[in-house]
A and B are shown apart, each in its own frame.
Chain A
Amino acid sequence: MTRRTWSLRLFEALLPIAAVLLAFAIGAVLLLALGENPLEAYWTLISGAFGSVAGLAATLTKMTPLILVGLGIVISFRGGVINIGGEGQLIIGALGATAFALAFSSWPGWLLLPLTLIMGALAGAFWGGIAGSLKAWLNVNEILSTVMLNSIALLLVNWLLRGPLLDPAQKAAGTNIPQTAAIPESTWLPRLIPRTQLHAGLLLALVLAVLVYFLLWRTTLGYRIRTVGLNPSAARYAGIPVPFYVALSLVLGGAFAGLAGAVEVMGLHHRMLEGLSGGYGFSGIVAALFGKLHPIGLIPASFFFGGLLVGADKMQRAIQVPSALITVINGMVVMFVVASDLYVRRAKRRYSAEAMSSIGESAAPPAAGDGTAAELVP
């Protein structure tokens, strides 16, 4: 590592922070207009997300589904598929896991718990696979199908939660709250810190992030998915069955989103209910792209974005600003951070151009597939 590389790395790390600060600065104008003290507001946000055990636990809890959905997004986008169906895939995954755990509740925990996770992933994979197959073999654009499938999933679950899957206790009580019965305790993921919602799903998410890294950059399968994503015609020329890998990237994307749903059920709610997701499909995309579509980069990105969401809620509670203000700031953070990436790419190009000219032919161009911004654009 030369000094130049380090300064480049530093620039790359600092620039998103500058973009966030810019968004906060504009947010400060809004806060002032609402008659609030911006410094106090932002201090609440930061300390709310990272400043206490409870806050940090909430951030880490939020981070878990973001990583899992994000991993699915990383695979899909790397495979050249714009998957905005995380929302529907997550809901269907949660549904599949819950239905399975309830149906086989008498099975021993050591068997039921992993199978429930797998069923969640399979259900999500199925939902992603619909969009994947439609794209691969019937040329149906994935943005269209995933948008529609999100709505269908939501309506389907609404119906199932009031009818076939309604908690018998609710039916008996006549209250009819749309939720299922609680899944057996043997399938609950252990809580990591008492009096918080933080559960073992986080560890699973972290391990899977590493595994996805190996999958994408250390296996033939991953290599093929990325090749199809980068250049489908070259992939076709190289003999890779492109439609299969297109479908596969949506199947895998759905599997991870579905797993996120299963983990939310098993770690947090212990049953399927309305309002389980509420936007993780989109937050996951944001986290994935903040993490530069890299499974490992996704971890700090999810931590940051999860913290932003948790801190923003805290800000709403502590100083009673409308939640809409926080949505505005989040929107600006997202826009500015992606926009700022241009300067990183420019700096990199300048750096590699200089390196090329000074070292001459011996310097290799940045290796394709190292997962950095060079190949950010899906």
Chain B
Amino acid sequence: MRKLSLFMGLLVVVAMFIGACAAPVAPAAPATEAAEAATEAAAPAGEPFKIALIMPSTTTDYSWSQSIYDGLKAVQTEMGGEGALEIAVSENMFQVADAGNAIRDYATNGYDLVIAHGAQYGNPLFEVAKDFPETSFAWGTTTNTGADQGLANVFAYEPAAQEGGYLNGVAAALLSDKNVIGVVGPVEAGDAKLYINGFVAGVKATEPDTAVNVTYTGQFGDTALAAEAANTQIEAGADVLTGSAQQVVGAIQTAKDKGVYWFGSQSDQAPLATDIVVTSVVYDWTKVIKDMIESHNAGTLGGKVFTMTLNDGGQTMVYNDQSTVPAEKMAEIKTAVEAAAKGIQDGSIVPAK
């Protein structure tokens, strides 16, 4: 009995520790309040538009998942808050079967638009979309809306990551003094591969003699290995770095410690290291999301493909003017990047996929 009470006592301590840590900030938990407020506000002002988002990572990953969440939040603010747009999020859905359950459940619960934010979610999405013809679904990264399976309620989106990669490549080539640039990639596939291919093309088009070394870590979430990969790149002579996936948070931190410039992708990564992040190619989801909402309300539940290019505003270049890059260099970079962007937009430059 003595041991049992010891055990209980310990649990209480742990619980209090947890409670104490969590309590002070609890009122700031935004998502939950948002959800509550939305249900309260729903009745008088008419039903809000309801969007569910299923993501493989988290809303604060500084990359793929965060970029769309930020976009949703921006659209929500623009539409007038939770009363007009209700957002539900399922994070860390790395198991496809769980994502399938989530997609079906959101559809069952009357969400107007269910976004499956990962290429791996396609199979369950199509399966559910067949059963809920009145609900809109969205799936990325793909151009497949399931039209060949008779589906008319699936949107598809695929960022042309090579375009943004190309611009970052142009900028990086101009900035590298040693003519060695390092890339920290996750797995040679999908969005990361497109970005890196575009980046290499951009570098080579600007400074043909500059070497671009690419390291893959084999994973998306290995922060420590990504950090060490960045270190390796720097020790091998790179003075400018870039990368893709949520694990680059570790690589950016290494670049910051060593004073090496970084080019961000997917989300604006400047807040991580103001001094050294020069530019970020950012996915701007607001247009895509607004288009999907408008289409849905107009009765078109799917079938559209959004490519997210520089042309349609799906990707934008964010310059960080607080970096330590000298102003005249930054101006040179801006000029070159804008010229390249124009070239991509009018079709005279086609970054390889």
Whether A175 and B101, one on each chain, are in contact in the complex, defined by CB atoms closer than 8 angstroms, is no
Chain A contact-residue range equals 35 or more
Closest A residue, CB atoms, query B119: A177
Known: A35-B33, A175-B158, A320-B32. A314 touches B105 (CB 8 A): yes
- Picked from A54, A176, A310, the residue with its CB within 8 Å of the CB of B108 is A54
Q: When each residue 98-134 of chain B gets 1 if its CB lies under 8 Å from chain A and 0 otherwise, what string results?
A: 1111101110100000000011101110010001000
Q: When each residue 1-35 of chain B gets 1 if its CB lies under 8 Å from chain A and 0 otherwise, what string results?
A: 00000010001001100110011001101011111
Q: Which of B186-204 contact A (CB under 8 A)?
A: 187-190, 193
Whether B95 and A275, one on each chain, are in contact in the complex, defined by CB atoms closer than 8 angstroms, is yes
- Picked from A179, A196, A320, the residue with its CB within 8 Å of the CB of B89 is A320
Known: A34-B29, A35-B29, A54-B104. A275 touches B94 (CB 8 A): yes
Whether B98 and A197, one on each chain, are in contact in the complex, defined by CB atoms closer than 8 angstroms, is no
What's the Cα separation between A179 and B187 when bound, in Å?
14
Known: A162-B187, A278-B94, A314-B105. A35 touches B26 (CB 8 A): yes
Whether A176 and B190, one on each chain, are in contact in the complex, defined by CB atoms closer than 8 angstroms, is yes
B91 sits at the interface (CB 8 A): yes
Q: Which of A300-315 contact B (CB under 8 A)?
A: 309-310, 313-314
B178 sits at the interface (CB 8 A): no
B208 sits at the interface (CB 8 A): no
What's the Cα separation between A259 and B251 when bound, in Å?
39
Whether A276 and B96, one on each chain, are in contact in the complex, defined by CB atoms closer than 8 angstroms, is yes
Q: Which residues of chain B are near A22, meaning CB under 8 Å?
A: 11
Closest B residue, CB atoms, query A271: B123
Q: When each residue 50-88 of chain A gets 1 if its CB lies under 8 Å from chain B and 0 otherwise, what string results?
A: 000010001001100000000000000000000000000
B56 sits at the interface (CB 8 A): yes
- Picked from A32, A162, A196, A277, the residue with its CB within 8 Å of the CB of B95 is A277
Closest A residue, CB atoms, query B30: A320
A270 sits at the interface (CB 8 A): yes
Q: Which residues of chain A are near B88, meaning CB under 8 Å?
A: 317, 320
What's the Cα separation between A173 and B142 when bound, in Å?
9
Whether B35 and A30, one on each chain, are in contact in the complex, defined by CB atoms closer than 8 angstroms, is no
What's the Cα separation between A158 and B190 when bound, in Å?
12
Q: Which residues of chain A are near B29, meaning CB under 8 Å?
A: 34-35
Chain B contact-residue range equals 35 or more
Q: Which residues of chain B are near A275, meaning CB under 8 Å?
A: 56, 94-96, 99, 118, 120
Closest B residue, CB atoms, query A48: B105
Q: Which residues of chain B are near A103, meaning CB under 8 Å?
A: none
CB distance from B254 to the nearest CB of A (A): 23
Whether A339 and B7, one on each chain, are in contact in the complex, defined by CB atoms closer than 8 angstroms, is yes
Known: A175-B144, A179-B120. A30 touches B190 (CB 8 A): no
What's the Cα separation between A162 and B193 when bound, in Å?
11
Known: A195-B131, A278-B94. A175 touches B141 (CB 8 A): yes
A319 sits at the interface (CB 8 A): yes
A316 sits at the interface (CB 8 A): yes
Give the 8 A-B CB pairs with smallest separation, nearest first. A278-B95, A33-B22, A177-B119, A275-B96, A320-B35, A26-B15, A162-B189, A278-B94
Q: Interface residues, chain B, CB within 8 Å of chain A?
A: 7, 11, 14-15, 18-19, 22-23, 26-27, 29, 31-35, 52, 56, 88-92, 94-102, 104-106, 108, 118-120, 122-124, 127, 131, 141-144, 158, 187-190, 193, 218, 353
